[in-house]
Every structure is written in C-alpha cells, then in structure tokens.
C-alpha cells in the first residue's frame, strides 16, 4: 500500500521539483495542516489513513486524492504552475482557495498570472462581505421539520444601509433530486444516502419564499462575526465545490455538518465539526456556532402563517366573521354593515382577509380570479393601511433541550417491580421539556427501552423506529389536520402476567382544539397493523381511536389520553394513560406516568413509573 | 432535461408565455403579480432532503440558472430581475408604505437612504397607478414606477439615470 503511494507521490513531485525545488521540504508538513484537511474535506478513516467526504473525482487532481492529502497537495502545487493557455480551467481558477492558501504558506511569488474571468465575474456578483447563519424553525404541523435545517446567507457590504437581505445569496447544501420519485421514496433515499449532496447558491429571497410561505417556518438569522476577508475566503472555497458531489445523509453528513466545515475554512483554527462525530442535528450545530463565539446578533423573520395568526389574534367574533366574508368574496368590502365597522378595525380585518386569501393560495398555480380578489383587498389596504405588524419573538430554538435522551426509571407493573433503561437518539415527545419547541409536536427516532424485573429478569420493552405526532389546533380561520404515525416493537400484556413483544405500524388522523392557550384537546381515528405471534395471522389489522388532553402547566406538560384498538380478529385492547413531566433543569426532567390497560386476552394491569430523563448531546 | 423541467416547474412560475421577455423565460421579468411558488411535494420530503429542488444553481442572475445577462435589465448596476421575484411582496409593501421588498426596490433603483421614506410615501399614494391591475407584469410595474418618479421633483433624478 505504502509503496505505490510513495511512488505516486514521487511521480507527481518530479515535474514540480523542476519548477519549484524549494517547496519540496515543506510539503509533508503542509499536507498535515488542519487547513489543508478542511479544504479537501478529509477525515481520519476508521481504520487509519484518510478519506474525503467529497464523492466526486472532479474535485481531486491526484488519482488517489480522495485518500491521500499529501498527493493531492503535490498535484495541486504542480497544477498551479500549469500553462496559462488553460484559461478558466486552470487550477488557479478552479481552486482559488487552495491557490491562496498555498501561495501564502509557500510564498509563491512566481505563479503564472491567470485571468480567471469566470470566477471573478461570479465573485463580484455575489460580492461577499458578511455571513449569516440561517435556521428555519420547526413547524408544528410538520414534526419532521423539528430536525431543522441550516443554510448560510452571504451579504454584500453595507447590508443595513445600502442593501437588503432580499439581494443577498443563500448558500444551501441539500440532496440533489433528479427526476420525480414518489414522496416516500424521496424521504427514504434522503435518509439512507441515496442522493448525492450538492451546494447551491441562489437568491436568499427564494429561500424566504420557500420557508416562510410554503413551509410556514419562522426563520432565525444569526449574524456571524466573520470578517469580509473570512467570508471571501469561504466563498473562494465554495467556488471549488461548484457541482461537486458529496455523500448526503440526513443524520450526519447533512447540511449542518457541511456548513460547519465551511466555517472552518472561513476562519482557520475553528474546531466545530469534531464535536459531531455521529449525528449533526441542526439545532445542536447552531449551539456549537454560538458557543464558538461566532454570533454577533440574531434577527427573526416570522412565517406568513404566524403573521396571519398574529394579525387576526386581536379580532373578535363579528370581526372574524368579516375576515372570512372578505376572504370569500371581495364584494363584501362595499357591504353597508361592513362599512359600519370602525375604520381602524376594518384596517385590521382587511389585512387579515388578504393574508388569509394569500395563505390559502400557497403552493397553488396562479389563478386570475384569486389574483383579482387579492388585488381588490390590497387596494382597500392601500386606502386604509393597518398599523405595522409586530410579531413577538418566540423563544430561540437553540434554547430547546438537546437532541439525545437517556432515561432511567423505576416502577411497577401489576405486582412486579422493575427498573427501566432507555436511550432515544432524537428528539422530542409531547411531554418533554417544552422550551424552544411548539406545544403538540413530537418526533422520535430510534428509541430503545430495556427493563430489568426483579430477579435480574431482562426484557426488551420497546424499540421504536419512529414516532411522529402533530397536534395542530384549529383556529377561527385555519382548520389544519392533526395526525400521527409510529412504527416499532413494543411489549404488551398477554394474560397470566405474561407479556409478548409485537411489531407494529400505526397511524391516525383527526382534529385538535385549543381550550385555552395552554390546554389542547385532540381526537383521532387510528389504524394499526400488528405482527403478534399470539394471533393466527401474520399481520392483524385494527381500527381504533386515540383522544386526550395536553396541558401545559407550571411544572411541565401533562398528557391524559385514551386509546382503543379493535382488531379484525376480535381482540379489543384499550389503554388509559396519564403522564406528567416535571421540568427540573434545562437538560433534565422527571416524568411520572400511570397507565392502565384492558384487553380481552389478559387481565387489566396497572403500571406506574417514575423516570428521570437526561437530555444531552 | 428532466432536471431542467423539474427546476422550471419548482422554482419559477408559469412565465413560459413570455418566452421573448428579456433575460429569457424563467427569469421573472414576465412574472405577474401573485405568481405562485411551488415547492417539493411534501413537508417530510422538504425537511429530509432540504430541497435543492433538483436545481444545483450556482449563480445569482447569470450562469447556470438560465437567465441571460442583458444590459437592458440592469439599472444602476443592479439587476432588475430581482423585481420579478418579489412582485407580490412589493405590492403589499407599496400598498402599506413600508417593508423589506420596498426597501429592496429602492436599493435597486439607487434611491439614497434619505429619500427612501419619501419614495415609500409617493409610491403608496400612487399604488393604483403602479399596480394598475392584478395582471401587471414586473416589466410594467417597473415602467409605471419610473413614470411616477418622474412626476416627483425630489425623485425624478432616480428615474432619469440609467
């Protein structure tokens, strides 16, 4: 292994030796430099040696560049002296960040002068000056968005006086989807690394439209204290990554990890990526950036839905009626009864109606009737403008608990005592410490719970693949669905104080009602498919219900719920459970749960558990 | 090809009727008010893939996203193509007399910070002229704005420099 490498290194060094003999000595040290490793996206391989995260031959100059930083360095250095006739394909133009760094490190004063007009045009158009880390917050009705995403905004000079974020660029790393697979396949391939990841640079205004309008996610904008030189250096490297493919994995080699790498290129010496060896959940990476002292200030950009709800929050009975009327038919603007409403209230009503009409048109093709309707409302707004809409900032998302959870519980089931040990890789359930999360959203990925009953009797209690719940309350104007899905293994009582591990997939849909700001009721119809060795069929289907109350109280969240599953084979299973979380500290909670299950096949049993939950990364 | 189709489906609106518009189709110059924006098929997909939406575009107005850089679309060195993509927001801001899209347009027009409040109040007052119907295109809005500016003693100079 070593010999061919050495040979290769020697071969590629030889032309260089002729061109610039004085550098040869410094090269091995340079190849070990952390900055060179950042530029090549190298990481230490699990069995020693190196591997680059870049999965694209075009990125490397040396044949084994993906595994050999030293060979890549040598090949780069030699290419920098290539003939100037290469023009925009010259290494100096393709690798401006490598060029700058090597020039500085080796004092290369004799490099051929290359014009690089393509790069220069691009660079001057982007005009990088400062950098903002953008974090789209979670949207309640899409719990998968709780994982979040991060992107960078690259601003031009004088953003506050002479510019606007709408003129800035967004630097995004995401899976590159070719063609039209169906949705589930998209999601699966995204999770499993079936798509290559690419950087893209596009107008930030498009990203705003995507998040605040299409996905109803608030945007948090963390202004970083990168200097213009640091931002420029980062963009030079971004140019090197143009159309370059990385592996894309949702959990680790994702957008957030890649952006941390870019920040390390911007400011040499930053150590961000090494904190995330296994998973890089965006909110965790935001915290890492804050902890590294990179954040200067934080701006908040509410979603269109939040603006609509804020605008209409102060409206009452009859006023909301008018919002709905105006949103249904613009002729109502001339209605006598409507005109009898005081002008300053009408200003709010019209604005609310306009926002509602636009909200409903989200994601739809343009339709001229709807456009005419919107336009009439806008004219009314123009004649009687409402006061500026100030949306109160919610809690910063990075104040939410960290993504992984360790659980330790003691309890009893019937007359047997047990201890329970659990690990959840991510992220948040309906009872977990709420700060920084929306009430009524849950996403759990990979959760394992083991039980030790008296006499050191160990049992696998549950293994969840995923559990997502979204309780989005009805409002006077919006009627969202609430839904849930879950899949995994769980242990169920099975008569004679025995129990059995079953596999299941289940889901449900229904509605949630806000009884007050802190109290939510929900009711759903559910369906379940179960693999249970106690049943004769391999898969047994069931229909059922799930309803309950979620209450945010002074000490934490309380959830009272009832579930029923009515199997096709006649089995009926019902369960009532009550849980109360006591939020002890930012990173810990105590959970009390009481659970009673009823089944045709087993005696009713009551389970009690007191569980300590520790959130960490 | 598939990629291009998808990109134009997802990222731009139905500007195909304006194939001869400057900058080429999909650049937004022919975009109408209240043009829709389409995204990935579901929230789940969007949040898992973080949607490059099948388009690894790497430029602002030139290069890979298919817009021709036409000198006629530049005003004060800034690309007017911006307008096509913020039309709806601009109409809202102009109706109310303030907002980020309005500021952006002022920046593109080269209006100095000290004149921006005046710009906002003039355009608010002439909202019906600038956005004369629900069917206006970015190009028409821009022309109408310049016409309004020319009528205003303080703002006329911004309409004349090109």
Q: Over the stretch A319-358, which tens digit does the pLDDT of each residue have? A: 999 999 999 999 999 999 999 999 999 999 999 999 999 9
Q: For B77, name the nearest residue in chain A, comparing CA atoms only.
A: A125
Domain span including residue A323: 315-383
pTM (predicted TM-score): 0.83
Please judge whether B45 and A174 are an interchain contact, meaning their C-beta atoms are less than 8 angstroms apart: no
Helix intervals (H) in A181-334: 183-192, 204-208, 228-240, 255-266, 282-291, 304-313, 317-328
Same domain, A30 and A146: no
Looking at the partner chain, which of A125, A190, A213 has a beta carbon nearest the beta carbon of B37? A213
Question: A30: how many CB neighbours lie within 10 A of its CB?
Answer: 19
* Partners of residue A169 in chain B, C-beta under 8 Å: 60
Q: For B126, name the nearest residue in chain A, comparing CA atoms only.
A: A382
Same domain, A329 and A266: no
Q: Taking the mean position of all CA atoms in its chain, how far away is CA A481?
A: 22
Is A183:B45 a contact under the CB 8 Å cutoff? Answer: yes
Question: B162: how many CB neighbours lie within 10 A of its CB?
Answer: 8
- Residue A389 inside a domain? The answer is no
Same domain, A261 and A366: no
Same domain, A475 and A594: yes
Same domain, A32 and A142: no
The whole-number pLDDT of residue A497 equals 65
- C-alpha closest to that of A256 among A275, A233, A241, A239: A275
* Partners of residue B43 in chain A, C-beta under 8 Å: 139, 141-142, 144-145, 215
- Map residue B34 onto helix, strand or coil: coil
- C-alpha closest to that of B89 among A150, A306, A374, A315: A374
Same domain, A373 and A417: no
Please judge whether B108 and A213 are an interchain contact, meaning their C-beta atoms are less than 8 angstroms apart: no
The whole-number pLDDT of residue A12 equals 42
What is the average per-residue pLDDT within B108-124? 93
Same domain, A564 and A458: yes
Backbone φ and ψ for A71, nearest 5 degrees, come out as: -65, -40
Question: B76: how many CB neighbours lie within 10 A of its CB?
Answer: 13
- Residue A120 inside a domain? The answer is no
- Residue A596 inside a domain? The answer is yes
For residue A145, give the CATH number of its domain: 3.90.1720
Please judge whether B104 and A166 are an interchain contact, meaning their C-beta atoms are less than 8 angstroms apart: yes
Residue where one domain finishes, among candidates A84, A114, A144: A114
CA A550 → CA A71, A428, A433, A496, B37, distances in Å? 60, 15, 13, 33, 35
Q: Residue A616: beta bridge partners?
A: A404
- C-alpha closest to that of A172 among A255, A99, A77: A255
Q: Residue A563: beta bridge partners?
A: A546, A575
Q: What is the mean pLDDT of chain A?
A: 88
Q: How far is A586 from chain B (nearest CA, A)?
A: 26
Same domain, A285 and A329: no
Higher pLDDT, A24 or A248: A248
Under the banding of pLDDT at 50, 70 and 90, the label for residue B63 is: very low
Is A617:A403 a contact under the CB 8 Å cutoff? Answer: yes
The whole-number pLDDT of residue A188 equals 67
Higher pLDDT, A190 or B39: A190
CB within 8 Å of A430: residues ≥ 6 apart: A440, A441, A442, A469, A471, A550, A557, A559
Same domain, A517 and A612: yes
- Map residue B148 onto helix, strand or coil: helix
Q: For B94, name the nearest residue in chain A, comparing CA atoms only.
A: A382
- Residue A472 inside a domain? The answer is yes
Residue where one domain finishes, among candidates A83, A114, A145: A114
* Partners of residue A366 in chain B, C-beta under 8 Å: 13-14, 32, 34-36
Same domain, A413 and A471: yes
Alpha-carbon span A178 to A166, nearest angstrom: 28
Helix intervals (H) in B77-115: 81-85, 87-96, 100-108
Strand bridging mode A219-224 / A295-301? antiparallel
Same domain, A46 and A8: yes
* Partners of residue A202 in chain B, C-beta under 8 Å: 55, 57, 60, 65
CB within 8 Å of A576: residues ≥ 6 apart: A560, A561, A562, A595, A596
Is A453:A306 a contact under the CB 8 Å cutoff? Answer: no
Alpha-carbon span A349 to A315, nearest angstrom: 8
Residue where one domain finishes, among candidates A339, A358, A383: A383
Q: C-alpha angle A599/A506/A445, rounded to 5°?
A: 115
CB within 8 Å of A589: residues ≥ 6 apart: A432, A433, A556, A581, A582, A583, A612, A613, A615
Same domain, A152 and A17: no
* pLDDT tens profile A533-571: 889 999 999 999 999 999 999 999 999 999 999 999 999
Please judge whether B60 and A210 are an interchain contact, meaning their C-beta atoms are less than 8 angstroms apart: no
Number of domains in chain A: 4
- Residue A49 inside a domain? The answer is yes
- Map residue A534 onto helix, strand or coil: coil
Strand bridging mode A219-224 / A130-136? antiparallel
DSSP letter at A54 equals: B
Strand bridging mode A540-552 / A557-567? antiparallel
- Residue A391 inside a domain? The answer is no
Alpha-carbon span A301 to A389, nearest angstrom: 12
| pLDDT for A128 beyond 70 | yes
| pLDDT for A181 beyond 60 | no
Q: How far is A373 from chain B (nearest CA, A)?
A: 8
Q: How far is A462 from chain B (nearest CA, A)?
A: 25
**Cβ pairs bridging A and B (under 8 Å):** 204
Is A193:A247 a contact under the CB 8 Å cutoff? Answer: yes
What is the average per-residue pLDDT within B126-150? 93
* Partners of residue B96 in chain A, C-beta under 8 Å: 381-382, 385-386
Please judge whether B107 and A164 are an interchain contact, meaning their C-beta atoms are less than 8 angstroms apart: yes
Token pair for residue A477?
A: 């104007």
- Residue A407 inside a domain? The answer is yes
Alpha-carbon span A549 to A471, nearest angstrom: 11
Higher pLDDT, A129 or A142: A129
Q: For B2, name the nearest residue in chain A, comparing CA atoms only.
A: A179
Please judge whether B58 and A243 are an interchain contact, meaning their C-beta atoms are less than 8 angstroms apart: yes
- Residue A464 inside a domain? The answer is yes
For residue A421, give the CATH number of its domain: 2.40.160.40
* Partners of residue A190 in chain B, C-beta under 8 Å: 45, 48-49
| pLDDT for A226 beyond 90 | yes
Please judge whether A172 and B52 are an interchain contact, meaning their C-beta atoms are less than 8 angstroms apart: yes
Token pair for residue A416?
A: 């047997």
Residue A577's H or E segment, with its range, is strand A572-585
Question: B60: how many CB neighbours lie within 10 A of its CB?
Answer: 22
Backbone φ and ψ for A5, nearest 5 degrees, come out as: -60, -45
Is A610:A591 a contact under the CB 8 Å cutoff? Answer: yes
Residues of chain A with pLDDT > 90: what percent?
62
Please judge whether A372 and B42 are an interchain contact, meaning their C-beta atoms are less than 8 angstroms apart: no
Alpha-carbon span A305 to A310, nearest angstrom: 9
């Amino acid at each position: 292994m070593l010999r061919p490498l050495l040979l290769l290194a020697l071969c590629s060094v030889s032309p260089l030796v002729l061109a610039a003999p004085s550098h040869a000595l410094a090269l091995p040290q340079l190849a070990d430099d952390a900055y060179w490793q950042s530029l090549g996206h190298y990481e230490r391989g699990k069995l020693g040696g190196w591997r680059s995260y870049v999965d694209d031959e075009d990125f490397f100059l040396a044949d084994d560049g993906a595994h050999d930083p030293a060979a890549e360095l040598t090949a780069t250095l030699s290419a920098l002296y290539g003939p100037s006739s290469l023009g925009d394909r010259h290494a100096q133009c393709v690798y401006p960040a490598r060029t700058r760094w090597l020039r500085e490190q080796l004092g290369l004063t004799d490099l051929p002068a290359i014009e690089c007009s393509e790069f220069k045009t691009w660079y001057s158009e982007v005009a990088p000056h400062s950098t903002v880390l953008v974090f789209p917050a979670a949207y309640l009705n899409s719990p998968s968005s709780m994982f979040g995403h991060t992107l960078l905004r690259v601003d031009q000079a004088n953003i506050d006086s002479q510019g606007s974020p709408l003129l800035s660029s967004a630097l995004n790393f995401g899976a590159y989807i070719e063609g039209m697979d169906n949705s589930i396949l998209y999601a699966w391939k995204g999770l499993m690394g079936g798509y290559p990841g690419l950087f893209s640079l596009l107008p930030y205004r498009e990203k705003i439209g995507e998040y605040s309008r299409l996905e109803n996610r608030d945007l948090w904008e963390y202004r970083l204290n990168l200097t213009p030189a640091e931002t420029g250096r980062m963009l030079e490297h971004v140019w090197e990554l143009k159309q370059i493919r990385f592996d894309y994995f949702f959990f680790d080699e994702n957008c957030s990890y890649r952006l941390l790498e870019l920040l390390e290129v911007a400011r040499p010496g930053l150590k961000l990526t090494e904190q995330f060896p296994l998973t890089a959940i965006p909110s965790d990476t935001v915290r890492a950036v804050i902890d590294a002292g990179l954040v200067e200030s934080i701006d908040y950009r509410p979603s269109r839905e939040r603006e609509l709800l804020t605008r209409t929050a102060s409206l009452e009975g009859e006023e909301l009626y008018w919002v709905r009327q105006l949103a249904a038919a613009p002729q109502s603007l001339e209605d006598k009864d409507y005109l009898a409403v005081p002008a300053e209230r009408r200003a709010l009503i019209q604005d609310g109606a306009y926002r509602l009409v636009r909200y409903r048109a989200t994601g739809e093709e343009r339709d001229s009737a709807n456009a005419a309707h919107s336009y009439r409302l806008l004219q009314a707004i123009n004649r009687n403008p409402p006061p500026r809409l100030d949306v109160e900032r919610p809690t910063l998302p990075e104040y939410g608990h960290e993504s992984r959870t360790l659980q330790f519980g003691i309890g009893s089931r019937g007359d047997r005592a047990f201890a329970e040990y659990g690990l959840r890789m991510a992220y948040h359930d309906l009872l977990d410490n709420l700060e920084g999360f929306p009430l009524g959203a849950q996403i759990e990925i990979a959760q394992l719970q083991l039980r030790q009953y008296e006499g050191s009797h160990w049992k696998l209690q549950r293994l969840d693949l995923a559990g997502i719940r979204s309780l989005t309350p009805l409002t006077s104007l919006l009627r969202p669905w609430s839904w849930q899905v879950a899949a995994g293994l769980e242990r169920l009582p099975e008569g004679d104080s025995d129990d059995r591990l079953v596999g299941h997939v289940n889901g449900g849909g229904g509605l949630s009602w806000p009884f007050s700001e802190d109290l939510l009721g929900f009711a759903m119809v559910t369906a379940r498919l179960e693999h249970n060795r106690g049943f004769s069929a391999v898969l047994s289907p069931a229909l059922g219900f799930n309803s309950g109350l979620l209450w945010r109280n002074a000490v934490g969240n309380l959830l009272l719920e009832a579930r029923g599953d009515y199997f096709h084979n006649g089995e009926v299973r019902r369960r009532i459970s009550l849980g109360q979380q006591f939020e002890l500290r930012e990173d810990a909670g105590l959970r009390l749960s009481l659970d009673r299950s009823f089944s045709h096949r087993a005696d009713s049993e009551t389970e009690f558990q007191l569980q300590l939950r520790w959130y960490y990364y | 090809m598939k990629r291009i189709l998808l990109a134009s489906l997802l990222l731009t609106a139905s500007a195909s009727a304006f194939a001869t518009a400057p900058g080429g189709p999909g650049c937004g110059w022919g975009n109408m008010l209240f043009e829709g924006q389409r995204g990935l098929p579901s929230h789940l997909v969007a949040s898992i893939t973080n949607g490059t939406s099948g388009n690894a575009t790497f430029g602002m107005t030139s290069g890979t996203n298919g817009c021709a850089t036409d000198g006629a679309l530049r005003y004060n060195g800034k690309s007017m193509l911006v307008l096509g993509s913020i039309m709806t927001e601009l109409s809202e801001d102009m109706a109310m007399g303030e907002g980020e899209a309005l500021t952006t347009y002022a920046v593109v027009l080269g209006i100095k910070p000290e004149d921006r409040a005046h710009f906002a109040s003039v355009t608010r007052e002439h909202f019906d002229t600038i956005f004369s119907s629900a069917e206006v295109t970015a190009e028409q809005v821009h022309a109408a704005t310049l016409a309004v500016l020319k009528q205003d003693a303080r703002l006329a100079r911004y309409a004349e420099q090109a």
